[in-house]
Amino acid sequence: LLKKFSAELEEEKASAIFAKDTEEFIASLPVSKSKYDSRQRPILIGGAMNSEIGVLVRALKNPVIYKQLNYIYIAGTYKDYPVVISRTEEFQTNAAATTALALVNFNPVAVINQGTSGGYISTLKPGDIIIGERSINTSAIKTEYRAKGAGIDFTQQLLLGDRVYNKDADKFEFCKEMTADSTLLKLAENISDFNVVKGTIGTADGWNNQIDYINFLNEKYGVVCEEMETNAVANICYNSGVPFIGIRVISNNITNDSTFQPQSAEVAQKFVLALVEKYIQEVLIK
């Protein structure tokens, strides 16, 4: 059993080895001694691990590190427009915390979260891009009552959603799904040269290897891929009215036996750079 579960750490280990030079690159950057100060509101881009921000960080001009509660942000410019990269770290708690801190400290005009994911459809291959039309929290569920000894069945469930601030009602309410900002979505749909699928990203603090459960989530909620950050970042952006979109690359897909490929993380970053360029040119500096 132990042997079987130790494999769960292999993806992270493989990513860290793949991104060793990015870790060193980030460590070599100057650390800002003052508060972030920018005339234009920056675009915030999140990625959980070094392997998921290496391309982005290297694309920045004049990169400078900012630290908040030990989380790392790299600020610079891309196409002469301010951009802040947030290394969110993995899992929903870190993703939410880094985003909330960033909204307060950098006042971003828009937020893009991106990274790797596991495919839920057998036609999805490593390197394919998922445009997150919406996201759901697949771990926020209430299961149906089952008596002692009746067995475990997660398919008898109610999706709860998250507690999201509703400006009109001035209170936090349940929200079952977070939809992408329509402007960012339209721009993302118009990017060529990538294999793209639009759909629902499923976020949870977990890595699901049960194909029946994967198929259930796909059939019931239309989830096309799973990962651990998108919906948490979307939630914070929703709370604050900041435009958001999640972009993912398929890095593994148990429904067609595709094992984890850390280098796929670069495809999502390249896609996001194309999206950011369009957003700057067609929306922000117009």
Q: Quick one: which of 279, 201, 274 has its CA closest to 55?
A: 274
Q: Report the chain's C-alpha Rg in angstroms.
A: 19
Which residue minimizes CB distance to ligand 5AD? 118
Instruction: Give least dist CB 115 to ligand 5AD, A.
Output: 5
From residue 9 to residue 48, the character string flagging contacts with ligand 5AD as x (rule: CB under 6 A) and all else as - is --x------------------------------------x
Per rule CB under 6 A, is residue 249 in the interface with ligand 5AD?
Answer: no
Q: Residue 174 forms beta bridges with which residues? A: 163
List the one residue from 229, 262, 272, 279 that touches ligand 5AD (CB under 6 A): 229
Query: Residues 76-95: x/- map of binding to ligand 5AD (CB under 6 A)?
Result: --------------x-----
CB 248 within 8 A of CB 188: no
For residue 142 the two structure tokens come to 């209430």
Of 74, 187, 228, 267, the residue at the interface with ligand 5AD (CB under 6 A) is 228
CB of 124 to ligand 5AD, least distance (A): 11
- Name which position in 25, 71, 154, 207 contacts ligand 5AD (CB under 6 A): 207
**Distance, CA of 43 to CA of 64 (rounded, Å):** 15
Cβ closest to ligand 5AD, residue 12 vs residue 277: 12
Of residues 114-133, which lie at the interface with ligand 5AD (CB under 6 A)?
A: 115-118
Alpha-helix runs per DSSP H in 151-222? 182-189, 211-221
Least separation in angstroms between CB 48 and ligand 5AD: 4
Distance, first Cα to last Cα, the chain: 58
Residue 227 is a binding residue for ligand 5AD (CB under 6 A): yes
Shortest approach of ligand 5AD to residue 65 CB, angstroms? 21
Nearer to ligand 5AD, 76 or 227 (CB): 227
Q: How many residues bind ligand 5AD (CB under 6 A)?
A: 14
CB atoms within 10 A of CB 60: 19
Residues 6+ away with beta carbon under 8 Å from 86: 44, 45, 46, 47, 71, 72, 73, 98, 99, 102
How far is Cα 177 from Cα 171, in angstroms, rounded to an integer?
A: 17
Nearer to ligand 5AD, 90 or 177 (CB): 90
Of residues 89 and 181, the one with the C-beta less far from ligand 5AD: 89
Residue placing its CB nearer to ligand 5AD in the complex, 13 or 167: 13
Q: How far is the CB of 240 from ligand 5AD (least distance, A)?
A: 22
Footprint of ligand 5AD (CB under 6 A): 11, 48, 90, 115-118, 207, 226-229, 251-252
